[in-house]
A and B are shown apart, each in its own frame.
Chain A
């Protein structure tokens, strides 16, 4: 087993030698989408509508609801002369004020858990000490550089040899 050598391996990764058994294997590995691979589209779109889209939409809505709830509670407290209304309305009561109904997210939202904790950056950055997944490592393959270099939040574009998507972002 002398093939591929290092250079040939890089060429295979870039899509060369597609008429060899290994080349065909790799071509299949990156082959076109099968219909079953796109079954999650509706669910993902629902997540997008619920949690993504316009910047800050979810948080803004929640904050607004809370502010309104407190106002309602304060008015209620003034009218009834009781603190009970405050306690109940800030927490669990169904709110009288809601904006237009949206499809619920298919999966409940999770707390923010960006590993870097850097709220300004898209999460996550590569781990500083990345654990290997599963199996133990080969003797020569332990991670030697635990600190990723460069701007971790913005990895540089894909492959070489003109196969990568245009990094400039000027269309197709």
Chain B
């Protein structure tokens, strides 16, 4: 089973990166990029890498004017990523979809054999694909809350919704996910 990553606070790294410290910036990148990439994969599928790259370009450009701590920084990067993703979808005129690798779902839900790094990566990809198969608003609420680790209030600001609406969307998404997964083995 995968333990949730321990919460980290890189507020010091945010400040250092703003002062031009490349090592601090790399630390931020390593901590934020996986979640950002998964969020983007859930939104726009295979083009997530390109849009994540555009996101970091803007982050680099605007970092000197950013003010806030690490939690603010995560929310800020998610907001930028969302805007870049919307631009991307506008260019494509469609919402790209991710294929859900059905065969991995049973393993995923049972927790079987996810010891290796490769198996973990497959399971993560399958989990994101399954979340992405939800109705768009539920998918995004789950991605921002679970994957980006943002609270309902912050997600509400990013999406322009009330926190209650975010909670409802996430809750509906989770119920739907639960119904897609195999039953717990007795």
Q: Interface residues, chain B, CB within 8 Å of chain A?
A: 1-5, 7-12, 14-15, 17-20, 22, 25-26, 29-30, 33-35, 37-38, 43-44, 49, 52-54, 56-72, 74-76, 79-80, 82-83, 85-86, 89, 94-95, 108-111, 114, 117, 120-121, 123-124, 126-128, 130-131, 135-138, 140, 142, 145-147, 149-151, 153-154, 156-162, 165, 167-172, 174-175, 177-179, 181-184
Return chain B residues, CB-CB under 8 Å to A52.
17, 20, 25, 59-61, 63-64
Q: Report, nearest first, the 7 A-B pairs whose CB atoms are least far apart.
A: A134-B95, A157-B71, A169-B11, A52-B60, A155-B75, A21-B109, A55-B64
Q: Indicate if the CB atoms of B137 and A130 lie closer than 8 Å.
A: no
Task: Give min CB distance, A150 to chain B, whole Å.
Answer: 6
Q: Indicate if the CB atoms of B161 and A4 lie closer than 8 Å.
A: no
- How far is B127's CA from A164's CA once the two chains are assembled, in angstroms? 22
- How far is B158's CA from A111's CA once the two chains are assembled, in angstroms? 23
CB proximity to B under 8 Å, residues A2-56? 3-4, 6, 9-10, 12-13, 15, 18-22, 24-38, 40-41, 43-45, 47-56
Q: How many A-B residue pairs have CB under 8 A?
A: 339
B13 and chain A: residue at smallest CB distance: A172
Contact of A157 among B69, B142, B183 (CB under 8 A): B69
B149 and chain A: residue at smallest CB distance: A158
